[in-house]
């Protein structure tokens, strides 16, 4: 799950950066579900609204720490969450 600012000039470049990083790490994007704009429970980076998107991905578990570090460098992203799904 990712949360970006609702402003298009921040959202689009942020999503492009995210997709580029996923491609660079060889991550397979199984699905991408936009959840729309929602109020945040608390202010993040001076923003009170965020655009949520749920990604279902297939990634190498050994590279998740590196992927996490790269996600932290996406300036436009407000927050994100990785959840491991058991098969």
Considering the entire predicted model, what is its pTM? 0.87
CATH number reported for the structural domain that contains residue 15 in this entry? 3.30.70.60
Give the range of the structural domain holding residue 63, as residue numbers without chain letter: 2-80
Which pLDDT does position 43 carry in this prediction? 96
How many domains would you assign to the chain?
1
Give residue 87's pLDDT.
72
pLDDT in single tens digits along all 87 residues of the chain:
999 999 999 999 999 999 999 999 999 999 999 999 999 999 999 999 999 999 999 999 999 999 999 999 999 999 999 999 887
User: Cα separation of 68 and 58, whole Å?
Assistant: 14
Please give the pLDDT value at position 65. Answer: 94
Does any domain span residue 87?
no
Q: What residues are paired with 57 via a beta bridge?
A: 29
- CB–CB of 38/49 below 8 Å? yes
**pLDDT score of 37:** 97
In a domain, 6, yes or no: yes
Please check whether residue 18 lies inside any domain of the structure.
yes
């Amino acid at each position: 799950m990712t949360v970006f600012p609702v402003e298009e000039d921040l959202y689009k470049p942020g999503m492009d950066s995210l997709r580029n990083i996923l491609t660079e790490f060889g991550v397979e994007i199984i699905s991408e579900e936009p959840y729309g704009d929602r109020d945040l429970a608390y202010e993040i980076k001076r923003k009170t609204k965020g655009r949520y998107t749920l990604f279902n991905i297939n990634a190498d578990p050994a590279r998740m720490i590196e992927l996490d570090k790269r996600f932290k460098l996406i300036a436009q992203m407000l927050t994100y969450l990785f959840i491991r799904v058991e098969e």
